Every structure is written in structure tokens, then in C-alpha cells.
Amino acid sequence: MAPPHPRDPSTASNYEQVVVSHYALNWKIDFEKNNIIGDIVANLDVKQDTSNIILDIRDLTVHSVCLRLNNEMIRSDFSSKDNGALGQKLVITTDTLKSGDKPVLEIKYETSNQAAALQFLAAEQTTDRVAPYLFSQCQAINARSIIPCMDTPSVKSTYEADVCVPTGLTCLMSAIGHGSKPSECGKRIVFSFKQPVSIPSYLLAIVVGHLERKDISERCAVWAEPSQAEASLYEFAETEKILKVAEDVAGPYVWGRYDLVVLPATFPFGGMENPCLTFITPTLLAGDRSLVNVIAHEISHSWTGNLVTNFSWEHFWLNEGFTVFLERKIHGKMFGELERQFESECGFEEALVRTVNDVFGPEHEYTKLVQNLGNADPDEAFSSIPYEKGSALLFTIEQALGDNDRFEKFLRSYIQKFSYKSVSTEEWKEYLYDVFSDKKIILDNIDWNLWLHKSGLPPKPHYDSTLMKACKELAAKWTTEGSETPTDGEIFAKMSNSQKLAVIDAIRVNKGTFGDRMPELTATYKLDQAKNAELKFSWLMLGLENKWTPIVDASLAFALSVGRMKYCKPIYRSLFCWSATRDRAISQFKANIPNMHPITVKAIQSLLK
């Protein structure tokens, strides 16, 4: 038997005693004060006798608390206590609640105009510049800045919401829309939503803006500001096809709708798997559908993450490692097994090796797969480690077991067994051993302690390197001293975008012998014209790593226009570290803070410390 769960260290809530089964939200979005004003009604299930209800909050102003049991109001004094990096805790003291009781808690409150989960944008800061905009990002522990809640992935609740916004704007949530109607005053509009599948708090999400909808299929649509709607429809036209392949691998899609919303450029991530409504960065609009792997990734979260959820952020790899593995399974089904092998090897080399060696260093705590977060904000530990070390572990197990079909069946049965639940690494491992009880010797040969609990790089899995070989050979022509550099870009032009990226990455790895060939490389492969954001980013990084002065303006411009942290963080890091660019980069960053997402500001400020 897997050992009982240790507590989730990132929540103060007393979820062992009492859980929230349902939230009803009643919100007014105020674009003048840049905040949310409203109330929540939470249905509670008491698991053990208790005379406290403890919820997570961050910078909320709580106006009143009212607790009812069997429709009668009962004593409920409340106080707010500091909880360090984790915000504050709202402690509601009451008469003893007995196991089995189902009290109802009503809280009237408002958010701060600095709520960590929210970015309010003035009309001029949006793509179309016609109306203000709001979007949320609750993962990992920011939901507490918009509702008093049990902000832990180990508690799942259904929710419904009525959200009142200025007329002319559209409101979307991580839920199924149930129409809209004019507000009582007639000057605003109220949108209604229901999420009937229970979800952890980090999947609560809201967008309000001037949005247009384009249907992709009966259950999929993309929302965007009108000037980007057509391009978004083209870019994500394959969403339904990917969703069907995902269902073949992982099981039925339970969420009803799968919609996308293309957010303003300040959105700090590539995508966020909010149920029924994935949030997407506009950097995916490459014009040639070459970045739809991110859509496959977010779709995969509909099973790994949203249905089967990491018990705490210490087990984040169960969300992300499984999702990357599934994303690449889907890619393999659509484009062939060689492609899956190639993408997996790229992930290991481009993301994992670089993060371990260059970002953290091999001894760093955050390079462990299972984390010990303690009281730290989980955002600080966020990196590609859980994504790539996690998927490399699954790849290694699959290969050791030697039967891909059977491993795929295991994945599906794991999803089925733990759907609607939250799971720890030990529970997953115990289930793996149960299903493969006939292969115990093979499983015992895996160095579990090294993979799960040691820092640094794990052993590299054996990938079929057929597609990688061509990339390394081409890169070698640029980095082998004495070799003649290519003068035409034909081989490169015929490569897939992932292969092009692998070429640039292989040059970056061997930059010591690349010399001063940046101008020829740029011209031969027309890298300064790259529309694909990944390729553009790698070219910029190569230029910065080579201290190639002409790259500086383009890098500063890219970091200014793109809020996705995967790009702007390494670019600013490089610019800060180069004495010739440091001052310019710092002043650009500081001047741009009012336009940036608070999560990105915090991350880039930490580079300056």
C-alpha cells in the first residue's frame, strides 16, 4: 500500500477536516477599480469533527462571513492571519461541526487591484485597442487571490458563476456557458456558467474582453480579438482532429466543449489547460500551424492534470510529465513513431539538459522530479524539469517494458482508475507495479530513487535518432573548425520546424567552435525573417550567446512584444548578463513594467537580484 499522503504544504486550509464540494460565485467585474467584487456560497462536507474552517486567501478584503447548517445561521467569527509566501489564511471559528454535516458558507469580499491571478488591461494595451480586457492565471496558488478557497489540487469542487460585466464585452470561464442577460440596472450584462465536473481551484479561470468566436467543429471553437480571429481559426483548424486522436489514446472526453481563447501577448505561458477553455498565447500564431503541438499538449491535460490531478505541487510532474508523454503519443499517431522519438529526444536535449546544466546546475533542488516545497511559492520551482524529466521517465519505463501497446493500455487504465481524483507519485508507482506484476524484475531495475528524488540529469533514454542525425550533421558544418559552411539554405528550408530548431540548438550546444558565423547563418537560413516564435527565439539566443551586436535590437524588441516567460526570461537574462546591454535592458524592462503581467514582472525582477 502506498503510504498515506503527507499534507499539501502549499495550502493552509484544513481540507482533512472539511472540503468544499461546490462554489457558487456572484461577481461584478470593475474595470475602473480593476478588481472583482462579489460573494461566494460554498457547500461544505465535514469529514472530521471540527470547530474551524480554514481557507486560503491572498490580499482579499473580506466584508462578511455567514455560516448556515440545515438552513439555520450558526456562530461564525472570522479573522485573517498572515501565511508568508502563501498569502493569508481566513480562519472561521464556529460551534463544533460534526462529521457528515453539510454546512453552507457565504462570504462577501472583494479582490485587490493587485490580485496575483489577474491582469487587467486598458483598451490601448490590447491587440485591437477597442475595449479593456481581463484574464486570470490561477495555477499554481493564485486562485486564493480571487476567491477564498481550499487552494490545493487535492480538493476538487464543481462550480457555477454569474458574472456581471460592462455591456459589449464577452465573458468566458473554465466552464460551460449558460447564456447571458441584461443586469437589473440594464447597463451591464450578466453571463452564467456551470462546471459540473469537479475541478481543483487552480483550474478556475475567467476572460473578459472584446472577443469574436469562430467555430472549428461542433464542440470546438476559437475566441480571439476580432483582428486575430481569422488567423486563429486557420492556425487551430486541426483542434477537433487532435481531440479525436487524444480520445483514442486516453478515453472519452468528459468536459463537453473544448474551446480556445487567444489572449493578449502579455499572457505569461504558451497555454493553460483551463477546462472547456484552453488559454493560448498569440505567439502560437505562426501562420503555418507549426506550433500546434501546444494544442496537443493542452488537449492532453483534459485527462492528465484536469481529470487525474497531482495531489500537491510537489508531484507536479504527474500533471506535466504525463501530459508531455501523451502529447508526443498523439504526435506519433498523427505523424509517425520516428517523429515521436525525435520530439522526445529534442525535449531531453534542448530543454532538460539545458535547464539542468545552464539554468539551475546539477545539484539544485529544483532539478528533482518530486519536490520538497515547504513554505515556498511553487511558482519559484517551476521549470521544464517536471515536463521533460517526467516524460523521459515514462519513456524509459515504456522502453524497459518493451511493449508500447501494453504501456498505452496501462496509461488509459491509470487515467480511468484515478479520474476525478488527485494522486501522489507513490500511488502512481504502486499502480504501475500492480498492472505490471509479471514484470517486477524489469521495474526493479529502474533506479527509482535516482529518477524521483535525486537532482541532476537522469540516464538518457535510447531514442531512435534518425531525424536528429540530419540536424546534427547540418549543425556540425557550422561548428566544425575547418569545415566549409553551407552557402545555400536548401537542406534547412526542406526541414520541419522542429528539425530547424534542432539544428540551431545543436549549434548553440557547440557555440565554442561556431566563431563569428552569425551573419552568414542568419542570411543563409533567413533566420531574421522567422515567423515561428520558437525558431526566432533560438536564433536570438544564439546571437546573444555569441555576443553578436546586431542581434541586440531584435532581442530587445522581441522581449518587449512578447510576455511569454519561456522567451522573455532567457532573453532578459542574457541581456542583463552582457555588460554592453545590461543598462539598456534594465531600463527597457523597468519602463515596461506597467504593461507586463505581474507574474512575468516578478520572474524577471528575480533575475536582477
Ligand X SMILES: CC/C=C\C/C=C\C[C@@H](O)/C=C/C=C/C=C\[C@@H](O)CCCC(=O)O
Query: For binding to ligand X (CB under 6 A), which residues are involved?
Result: 139-140, 269-272, 313, 316, 371, 378-379, 381-382, 386, 564, 566
C-beta closer to Zn ion: residue 13 or 304: 304
Q: Give residue 275's region: left, alpha or beta (phi > 0; psi -120 to 50).
A: beta
Is residue 390 part of an annotated ligand binding site?
no
Please name which of 270, 272, 245 lies closest in space to residue 259, comparing C-alpha atoms. Answer: 272
Minimum distance from CB of 575 to Zn ion (Å)? Answer: 28
The stretch near Zn ion (CB under 5 A) out of 226-234, 315-323, 355-363, 443-451 is 315-323
> Which of ligand X, Zn ion, none binds 543 (CB below 5-8 Å, type-dependent)?
none
Minimum distance from CB of 348 to ligand X (Å)? Answer: 16
C-beta closer to ligand X: residue 138 or 176: 138
Is residue 297 part of an annotated ligand binding site?
yes
Is residue 564 part of an annotated ligand binding site?
yes
C-beta closer to ligand X: residue 208 or 272: 272
Q: What is the pattern of x (binds Zn ion, CB under 5 A) and - over residues 272-311? A: ----------------------------------------
> Which of ligand X, Zn ion, none binds 271 (CB below 5-8 Å, type-dependent)?
ligand X
Is residue 139 part of an annotated ligand binding site?
yes
Chain position whose Cβ is nearest to ligand X: 270
d(CA 346, CA 343): 5
Angle between helix axes 317-335 and 404-418 (nearest 10 degrees) is: 140
Coil, helix or strand at residue 182? strand
User: What residues are annotated to the active site?
Assistant: 298, 387
Minimum distance from CB of 517 to ligand X (Å)? Answer: 29
Is residue 271 part of an annotated ligand binding site?
yes
Is residue 395 part of an annotated ligand binding site?
no
Please name which of 245, 33, 232 lies closest in space to residue 128, comparing C-alpha atoms. Answer: 232
Please name which of 527, 530, 529, 518 lies closest in space to residue 485, comparing C-alpha atoms. Answer: 518
Minimum distance from CB of 314 to ligand X (Å)? Answer: 7
> Which of Zn ion, ligand X, none binds 381 (CB below 5-8 Å, type-dependent)?
ligand X
405 contacts: CB under 8 Å, gap ≥ 6:
none
C-beta closer to ligand X: residue 301 or 508: 301
Contact 291, 498 (CB under 8 A): no
Is residue 566 part of an annotated ligand binding site?
yes
Q: In the window 383-442, what residues touch Zn ion (CB under 5 A)?
A: none
Contact 196, 158 (CB under 8 A): yes
> Which of ligand X, Zn ion, none binds 538 (CB below 5-8 Å, type-dependent)?
none
Contact 475, 506 (CB under 8 A): yes
# of chain residues touching Zn ion (CB under 5 A)? 2
Is residue 214 part of an annotated ligand binding site?
no
Minimum distance from CB of 512 to ligand X (Å)? Answer: 28
Query: Around Cβ 51, how many Cβ atoms within 10 Å?
Result: 12
C-beta closer to ligand X: residue 132 or 200: 200
Contact 172, 207 (CB under 8 A): yes
Q: What is the pattern of x (binds Zn ion, CB under 5 A) and - over residues 323-362? A: x---------------------------------------
Q: Find the DSSP H helices in 402-465.
A: 404-418, 425-435, 440-444, 448-453
Burial annotation 296-324 (CB, 10 A radius, 16+ → b, else e): bbbbbbbbbbbbbbbbbbbbbbbbbbbbb
C-beta closer to Zn ion: residue 508 or 564: 564
Coil, helix or strand at residue 411? helix
Segment holding 194, helix H or strand E:
strand 188-199
C-beta closer to Zn ion: residue 160 or 259: 259
> Which of ligand X, Zn ion, none binds 313 (CB below 5-8 Å, type-dependent)?
ligand X
Q: Find the DSSP H helices in 532-594.
A: 533-545, 551-561, 565-577, 582-592
C-beta closer to ligand X: residue 333 or 566: 566
39 contacts: CB under 8 Å, gap ≥ 6:
25, 26, 106, 107, 108, 109
Q: Which amino acid is at 99?
A: S
Minimum distance from CB of 65 to Zn ion (Å)? Answer: 35
d(CA 591, CA 125): 14
Which triple of cell numbers denotes residue 609? Answer: 537580484
Contact 206, 173 (CB under 8 A): yes
Minimum distance from CB of 321 to ligand X (Å)? Answer: 11
Is residue 138 part of an annotated ligand binding site?
yes
The stretch near Zn ion (CB under 5 A) out of 258-266, 321-329, 493-501, 551-559 is 321-329
Minimum distance from CB of 553 to ligand X (Å)? Answer: 24
> Which of Zn ion, ligand X, none binds 566 (CB below 5-8 Å, type-dependent)?
ligand X
The stretch near Zn ion (CB under 5 A) out of 32-40, 80-88, 257-265, 322-330 is 322-330
Coil, helix or strand at residue 551? helix
Is residue 334 part of an annotated ligand binding site?
no
The number of C-alpha atoms within 13 Å of 340 and in the hemisphere containing its C-beta is 19
- Give the residue ranges of the annotated binding site for a peptide: 137-139, 268-273, 564-566
- Give the residue ranges of the annotated binding site for Zn(2+): 297, 301, 320
Interacting residue ranges for Zn ion, rule: CB under 5 A: 320, 323
- Give the residue ranges of the annotated binding site: 137-139, 268-273, 297, 301, 320, 564-566
